[in-house]
Structure 1
Amino acid sequence: MKIAIIGAGKAGLCAGKHCLKENISFDIFEQTGNLGGTWFYTDLVGHDENGAPIHTSMYKGLRTNLPKELMTFEDFPYPKQIRSYLLQEEVLDYVRNYSKKFHINPHIKYFKRVIWIERQNFLWSVHYEDVKNKQKEMEHYDAVIICNGHYSDPFIPDIPGIESFSGKVKHSHDYRTPEPYANKKVLILGSGPSGLEISQQISNVATKVFISHRSKDALPVSDALYQKCLVKEFVENRAIFEDGTSEEIDDVVFCTGYNYNFPFLSKRCGVKITNNYVHPLYKQIISIENPTLAFIGIPFKACPCPLFDIQVRFVLASLTGHFKLPKKDVMLKELVEEEKRKPGPPSSQYHQLGGAQGSYFDNLAETAKIRKIPPVIQKLYLRVISNRNLNDCFKIIDDHNWVQIYCSGTGCK
């Protein structure tokens, strides 16, 4: 068996590590010259020096919104005595060391951008291009695992008047540093982790920052940071809000999330995206139409490394015959029943786990007869999302218990 893995971020490296453990041949296709996926920082936006689209959405000064204890691969802990909430470069170092430890790097095809994937008889044709010399090649694989992430194709809502807004408009995907917003009046749309952190960064240099959101929770404010409700429309250089108020704005930053996007997948692969809902997939992982095609990391509001780990093990368990997938009609029936349990028509919210993460992990383990994710991960996750404080420090004691510990400026005690 030979597997093509698309992307050398955390998910792709995790897939490679488990392929090595199972003695499965594989190649990881990476369009840049760096591993780490979205955790790799570059000042560039738009396209890189080789003309390839910039994949990463990383900005300077980013801190994780989950503690490292929830962002750790089970068999590769972070170094001891460091904070729980880390900076981007600390996570990237961890990812690089992970690849080095498990000898994954020799299997990565750097500067190779996948441009087309299609099923031919019982094999997958993976067409790719060298982003430097533009030479195109094709190889055949028995299975494909897609690990290209879902933080690279910006979603920008269609707000009346935005096309004629006289100021500058960008998505957080292209945000890098706050300096360009010095002495300006800036509107941030979205109060997710990126929206909150970017608004805080920009408020240190801007005249005023308005953060527009639908959340019922009060957000941190300061002398330069103000909360606003949703934007109704833009008129020249003013934002008109749903409560009838308006503000003069110089720049707008959309922190409104991303689209799932697999532009290299042939339609014949049988995977569709409707209202940002990826389907039909079994357990949000395996293509029901073509079960040797799998996606890692589609669910969100979850602990990334544990998620990648159990999803990869689920896929490899199916490919190696450790367990047998249900028949197509059975998988489709289960999917329909699951869709009915979600409120409203299927959308990207279908992929949100949140508090249901633990039961999702357990279901995968029980279905595939593989090792479970330790319950302590879900226990700590529920604590973190109920009271998120980036100064908190945690320590996992065993598979069932964690404790909160005192953190000094540089380490934990």
Structure 2
Amino acid sequence: IKRFKGQYIHSREYKSPEKFRGKKIAVVGIGNSGADLAIELSHVAAQVFLSTRRGAWIWSRVWDYGMPMDTVLSTRFNTVLNKFYPTFLINRLGENRLNARFNHDIYGLLPQHSFLSHQVTFGDDLPNRLISGRVLIKPNVREFTETSAIFEDGTEEDLDVVVFATGYTFSFPFLENDSAVLDSQCSMFKFVFPPQLEKPTLAIIGILQPLGATIPTSELQSRWAVRVFR
């Protein structure tokens, strides 16, 4: 990337699409940050290229009859069913359901992984941006030149900006990497309490990716932590 003479940033530095108006932009990564950025930038950019190594199953926040997806799927009844249905069958049902909305293979997004084996990517408006040509799916970047990106399929695209939506590394430097607090995997009981501590005096909130929204889940974690502390 250091050969590239244009602008390149990580998704955490992105604030507003306005300064990218009229640019040719490559977004690298198709997690939630990558999908959201590609959709938003496509409204102002000359062209957006969305680069993905392995494709993704694209979920919609709006489910049948206009209901929020998480309220429809996250029910006690479905939880019980999932305990009895074999994983391969749940995968097949889920993949057929998402492909019924838009064919992932035709759009160049068919993943190498199954429906349940990787994190969820939401992108309600992504099919619209793809079918209009405002976002173009590309494979992994093989190399950068001074003015372009060369992708693994041999195609080359001139670029003004590269946005790396390549994820985050969790770090707790204020804990001094103390194994008595957190192990090397940063594992927490119920994603909240470090199990190595002698007493439950530390709670970590929001380090999870639920099926639905993070904020109400974090709210419940916070209520539980307060009760434990009290």
1:225 matched to 2:117? The reply is no
Task: Render the CA deviation track for 1:115-162: whole Å, top value 9, x for unaligned.
Answer: xxxxxxxxxxxxxxxxxxxxxxxxxxxxxxxxxxxxxxxxxxxxxxx1
1:298 matched to 2:207? The reply is yes
Structure 1: stretches of 5+ with no match in the other structure: 1-161, 321-413
Question: Alignment partner of 1:267: what SS?
Answer: coil
Question: Which of 1 and 2 has higher RCO (CA within 8 Å, sep 6+)?
Answer: 2
The whole-number CA distance in structure 2 between the counterparts of 1:166 and 1:273 is 41
- The correspondence of residues 350-365 of structure 1 with structure 2, limited to 5 A, is none
- The correspondence of residues 5-20 of structure 1 with structure 2, limited to 5 A, is none
Question: Alignment partner of 2:143: what SS?
Answer: strand
Task: Render the CA deviation track for 1:267-305: whole Å, top value 9, x for unaligned.
Answer: 33634474xx423x2222111221322211111134324
Runs of 4+ more than 3 Å apart:
216-219, 271-274, 316-320
Task: Render the CA deviation track for 1:5-39: whole Å, top value 9, x for unaligned.
Answer: xxxxxxxxxxxxxxxxxxxxxxxxxxxxxxxxxxx
Maintained 8 Å contact 2:193/2:204: yes
Letter in 2 for 1:278: C
* Corresponding residue for residue 182 of structure 1: 21
CA RMSD of aligned residues (A): 2.4
* Corresponding residue for residue 65 of structure 2: none
The whole-number CA distance in structure 2 between the counterparts of 1:198 and 1:259 is 19
* Corresponding residue for residue 319 of structure 1: 229
Pair 1:211–1:317, CA change in 2 (3 A): same
Task: Render the CA deviation track for 1:144-201: whole Å, top value 9, x for unaligned.
Answer: xxxxxxxxxxxxxxxxxx1221211011211122222222211011223332232233
Pair 1:271–1:245, CA change in 2 (3 A): farther
Moved more, 293-302 or 308-317: 308-317
Task: Render the CA deviation track for 1:244-263: whole Å, top value 9, x for unaligned.
Answer: 22212111011222221222
Question: Alignment partner of 2:170: what SS?
Answer: coil
Maintained 8 Å contact 2:182/2:196: no
TM value normalised by structure 2: 0.59
Question: Alignment partner of 2:210: what SS?
Answer: coil
> 2:193 pairs with 278, 286, 311, which one?
286
**Percent of aligned positions that are identical:** 38
> 1:254 pairs with 164, 169, 191, which one?
164
Offset of 1:211 from its aligned partner?
0.9
Maintained 8 Å contact 1:188/1:199: yes
The whole-number CA distance in structure 2 between the counterparts of 1:211 and 1:186 is 9
Letter in 1 for 2:192: I
Task: Render the CA deviation track for 1:218-249: whole Å, top value 9, x for unaligned.
Answer: 35212432111121221222212122222121
The whole-number CA distance in structure 1 between the counterparts of 2:227 and 2:210 is 25
> 1:206 pairs with 24, 36, 45, which one?
45
TM value normalised by structure 1: 0.34
Structure 2: stretches of 5+ with no match in the other structure: 57-103, 108-125
Letter in 1 for 2:191: Q
Letter in 1 for 2:43: N
